[in-house]
């Protein structure tokens, strides 16, 4: 990677242009708009040539690390390979040209993609039906919780406004619950990292709307007591929400619906191979058990008697509308492409191979790094820093040093249960050679930490920029070009 210091604004020169538009000689002009409604000054956007733009963004891209650049073992993010055929299909002009308000008869192909992906996800997860409208995992969570609340409200069970969230949950769980108007009740984890059923029992009463579970949880451990938990929560009248951020190890092996979950969201950008795009667009489909289908958000795709597909645009008993149109359709296309490539044969191997890789790294490194819970993990696991912590080298230092060796850093300082958490998730698309290379470097780093801790504490040394002054950035925010000049 090479450092490049320009902003596009730095390249701007009055009178340059990067666009090519047809000439239209209309008689009506913008000066007809009443003066009070017009903008007087032109916006100070850059004025650059087409090559300026291409070269600038190419240079920017070369300061970025993606899955295609190298191993990206970011825990809880499932950075698997993003197949290129997905991209080709997503930009197919036969889909890209469709306006979202076109009549259903003119978009039957698009609606088939929507409904076939929804059906495939139902099959993989054991749920009755899906909405693909949510735009991201957090948005899916919020939608799922809305469905849960709508369910209780529709039954006149208005007291149920509290939701149980384990202390190991992703930060979005409590945040989504709060946005949905639910009060959060925390349940503790036991020493072995699993939800404490005994701690849960006294929390269950007629004010509980449900419980949000991540299974495997954020430590990468399977919640063995899930069926007992499901029975307890259902007994008290609550519903079970499954946070599908960690669905990857279960694909082809275990279906959340069979564990007793009533609602779940998936992250198509994690388990179903669509690219993360530097933070989006993602997609967070929500699946529900049969008794909740009527509460799915609208618009909904439905099949008519003659086999054609239609879009239902009415609130009815649904939880409401949660998206302008029907989700990130381009992402839906990618995920469905992936499922067609996998087929029923290969879908079986996704979870097992992901779990194989995680356990392989864990077993290979547990002498050099502190493994707080030593048991079989699923797709990811958590170290609590270096085994030898006498050197003062922290998890942050390890993460930064990895960048020097051409690996992306794992997720660090999450989950909050351990002070020096390093969360590693390799995914099923990485070869043994790649994992061996990573293991070797991690061992080397552990050795470096003992021999030359100072150089660890100032890592990275080879990246385009090095450690940043985040405190000044937060104290005196510079958030746009005009704040610089």
Partner 1 sequence: MAKTVEGLYYSESHEWVKVEGDVAVIGITDYAQHSMGDLSYVDMPEVDDELAAGDEFGAVESVKAASDLYSPVSGTVIEVNEELEDAPELLNEDAFANWIIKVKMTDQSELEGLMDAAAYEAMCAEA
Partner 2 sequence: MAFSYFPHTEDDVRQMLERIGVESLDDLYSDVPQDVIYRREYNLPDALSELEVRQYFDDLASQNHKMMCLCGLGAYDHYSPAVIPHIISRSEFLTAYTPYQPEVSQGTLRYIFEYQSMITELTGMDVTNASMYDGATAAAEAVMMAMASTKKKSRVLVSEGLLPQVVDVVKTYAGFNGVGVTMIPCKDGVTSFTAVQEELAAGDVAGVIVPGINRYGIIEDLTGYADAVHAQKGLLIVYSDPSALAVIRTPGQWGADVVCGDAQSLGIPLCYGGPYIGFLACTKDHVRKLPGRIVGATKDVDGKCAYVLTLQAREQHIRREKATSNICSNQSLMALYVTVYMSLMGPEGLRKVNEASYGGAHYLHDELLKTGLFSEAFEKPFLKEFTLRAEVPAARIQDALARFGVLGAVEVEPGLVNFCVTEKISKEDIDAVVALLKSSFNRGE
Positions in 241-300 near partner 2 (CB under 8 A): 252-255, 258-259, 273, 275-282, 297
Q: Edge-to-edge, what's the strand order for the sheet holding 162-166?
A: 129-131, 286-288, 263-266, 239-244, 208-213, 162-166, 183-187
The Cα 446–Cα 448 span in angstroms is 5
Nearest Cα to Cα of residue 351 among 259, 430, 427: 427
156 touches partner 2 by CB under 8 A = no
Among 24, 84, 99, 475, binds partner 1 (CB under 8 A): 475
| Sign of the four-CA dihedral 454, 420, 177, 130 | positive
The Cα 287–Cα 222 span in angstroms is 21
Nearest Cα to Cα of residue 50 among 21, 24, 23, 88: 21
Closest separation in Å from C-beta 390 to partner 2: 25
Nearer residue to partner 2 within complex by CB, 8 or 390: 8
Closest separation in Å from C-beta 415 to partner 1: 15
Neighbours of 390 (CB within 10 A): 9
Q: Which one-letter DSSP state was computed for residue 93?
A: H
Nearer residue to partner 2 within complex by CB, 202 or 278: 278
Residue 43 interacts with which of partner 2, partner 1, none, CB < 5 to 8 Å by class: partner 2
Task: Name residues contacting partner 2, limited to 348-387 (CB under 8 A).
Answer: 348-349, 352-353, 355-357, 359-360, 363-364, 375-376
Among 231, 302, 312, 341, binds partner 2 (CB under 8 A): 341
21 touches partner 2 by CB under 8 A = yes
Asked if 184 and 156 touch (Cβ cutoff 8 Å), the reply is no
Closest separation in Å from C-beta 180 to partner 1: 21
Which residue has tokens 């190890």? 249
Cis peptide upstream of residue 281 (ω within 30 degrees of 0): yes
Residue 77 interacts with which of partner 2, partner 1, none, CB < 5 to 8 Å by class: partner 2
The Cα 338–Cα 343 span in angstroms is 9
Q: How far apart are the first and last CA of the chain?
A: 27
H-assigned helices in 366-431: 395-404
Q: Which stretch binds partner 2 (CB under 8 A): 195-203, 234-242, 400-408, 441-449?
A: 400-408
Residue 185 interacts with which of partner 2, partner 1, none, CB < 5 to 8 Å by class: none
Q: From the centroid of its chain, how far is CA 429? A: 18
Closest separation in Å from C-beta 385 to partner 1: 17
Cα within 13 Å of Cα(364), Cβ side: 18
471 touches partner 1 by CB under 8 A = yes
55 touches partner 2 by CB under 8 A = no
474 touches partner 1 by CB under 8 A = yes
Closest separation in Å from C-beta 283 to partner 1: 29
Task: Name residues contacting partner 2, limited to 82-121 (CB under 8 A).
Answer: 82-83, 85, 87-89, 91-103, 106-110, 112-113, 120
Q: Which stretch binds partner 1 (CB under 8 A): 131-139, 149-157, 299-307, 470-478?
A: 470-478
Task: Name residues contacting partner 1, limited to 400-459 (CB under 8 A).
Answer: 413
């Amino acid at each position: 990677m090479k450092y490049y210091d320009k902003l596009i604004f730095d390249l701007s020169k009055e009178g340059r242009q990067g666009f090519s538009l047809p000439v239209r000689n209309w008689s009506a002009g913008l000066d007809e708009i009443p003066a009070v409604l017009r903008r007087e000054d032109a916006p100070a956007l850059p004025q650059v040539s087409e090559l300026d733009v291409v070269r600038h963004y190419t240079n920017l891209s070369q300061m970025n690390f993606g899955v295609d650049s190298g191993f990206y073992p970011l825990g809880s993010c499932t950075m698997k390979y993003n197949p290129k055929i997905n991209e080709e299909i997503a930009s197919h002009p036969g889909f890209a040209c469709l306006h979202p308000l076109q009549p259903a008869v003119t978009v039957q192909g698009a609606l088939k993609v929507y409904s076939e992906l929804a059906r495939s996800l139902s099959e993989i997860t054991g749920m009755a039906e899906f909405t693909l409208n949510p735009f991201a995992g957090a948005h899916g969570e919020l939608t799922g919780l809305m469905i849960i609340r709508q369910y209780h409200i529709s039954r006149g069970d208005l007291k149920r406004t509290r939701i149980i969230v384990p202390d190991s949950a992703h930060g979005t769980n409590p945040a989504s619950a709060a946005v949905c108007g639910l009060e959060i009740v925390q349940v503790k984890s036991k020493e072995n990292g699993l939800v404490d059923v005994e701690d849960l029992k006294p929390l269950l009463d007629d004010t509980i709307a449900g419980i949000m579970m991540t299974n495997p949880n954020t430590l990468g451990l399977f919640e063995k007591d899930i069926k007992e938990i499901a029975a307890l929560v259902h007994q008290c009248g609550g519903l079970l929400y499954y946070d599908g951020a960690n669905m990857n190890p279960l694909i082809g092996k275990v279906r959340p619906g069979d564990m007793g979950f009533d609602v779940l969201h998936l992250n198509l950008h994690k388990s179903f191979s669509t690219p993360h795009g530097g933070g989006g667009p993602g997609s967070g489909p929500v699946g529900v058990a049969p008794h909740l289908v009527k509460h799915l958000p609208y618009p909904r795709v439905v099949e008519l008697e003659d086999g054609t597909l239609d879009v239902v645009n009415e609130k009815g008993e649904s939880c409401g509308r949660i998206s302008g149109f029907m989700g990130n359709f381009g992402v839906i296309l990618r995920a469905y492409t992936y499922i067609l490539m996998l087929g029923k044969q290969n879908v079986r191997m996704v979870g097992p191979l992901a779990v194989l890789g995680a356990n392989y790294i864990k077993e290979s490194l547990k002498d050099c790094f502190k493994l707080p819970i030593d048991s079989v993990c699923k797709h990811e696991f958590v170290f609590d820093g270096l085994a030898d912590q006498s050197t003062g080298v922290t998890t942050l230092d390890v993460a930064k040093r990895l960048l020097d060796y051409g690996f992306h850093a794992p997720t660090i300082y999450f989950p909050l249960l351990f002070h020096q958490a390093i969360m590693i998730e390799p995914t099923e698309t990485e070869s043994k050679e790649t994992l061996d290379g990573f293991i070797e470097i991690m061992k080397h780093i552990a050795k470096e930490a003992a021999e030359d801790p100072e150089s660890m504490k100032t890592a990275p040394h080879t990246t385009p920029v090095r450690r940043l002054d985040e405190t000044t950035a937060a104290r005196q925010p510079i958030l746009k070009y005009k704040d610089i000049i």
